[in-house]
Every structure is written in C-alpha cells, then in structure tokens.
Amino acid sequence: MAMTNAERQAAYRHRVKDSTDQKRVHLVVDSATDDALEKLAERYGVTKTEALRIAMQVVVKDEAEAVTRAKATGKKYRSTFERQLAERSAT
C-alpha cells in the first residue's frame, strides 16, 4: 500500500532531521522576496531551495572578495550585501 501524503512528509522531515548536511529552516518572507526566489528557480530550472543555496554562496563569495580587495589595496571595500544593509538603515 502506498504511503499517504502525511506519511511521506513525516518520512522526509525525519530524513532531514537525521541528516548531517541538511538543516530544516522555517522562514517567513515578504511576497516580493518569495516572487524573486520563485522567478530565479523557474528561470534556471532548479528548486527554490537550490536557488537560495546558490544565492547564499554568491553573497559569501562577494563578502570574501570585498575583504580581499580591501587587504590588497588598503581601501575600504563593501560587499553588495553590506551596501544594501547601509542603504536600508539610511532610510
């Protein structure tokens, strides 16, 4: 007999809970953020989870590059993420 939807969901949650490389995260985001994530996932044919994972890798890489540029030149470089945060706090 096939598993019910509830049984499949419970099995998935159990696998993620026991996984060493996956974590379950519950987020509430505004509709614009969800729309952007949905569009990225759809455009590149990936899941929203994969789109978010890649986006986070891009942010981390941008942060590291800003630090590297700052050390190499002695100038202050801000990542795109840091600039966006500054713009939000200025308003």
On whether residue 42 sits in a domain, the answer given is yes
Query: 3-state DSSP: the chain helix, strand, coil percent, rounded to 5?
Result: 70, 0, 30
| pLDDT tens by residue, 14-61 | 888 888 888 888 899 999 999 999 999 999 999 999 999 999 999 999
On whether residue 15 sits in a domain, the answer given is no
Domain count, the chain: 1
On whether residue 5 sits in a domain, the answer given is no
| pLDDT tens by residue, 37-46 | 999 999 999 9
On whether residue 3 sits in a domain, the answer given is no
Range(s) of the domain holding residue 46: 26-90
On whether residue 18 sits in a domain, the answer given is no
- 82: Cα within 13 Å, side-chain hemisphere: 12
On whether residue 50 sits in a domain, the answer given is yes
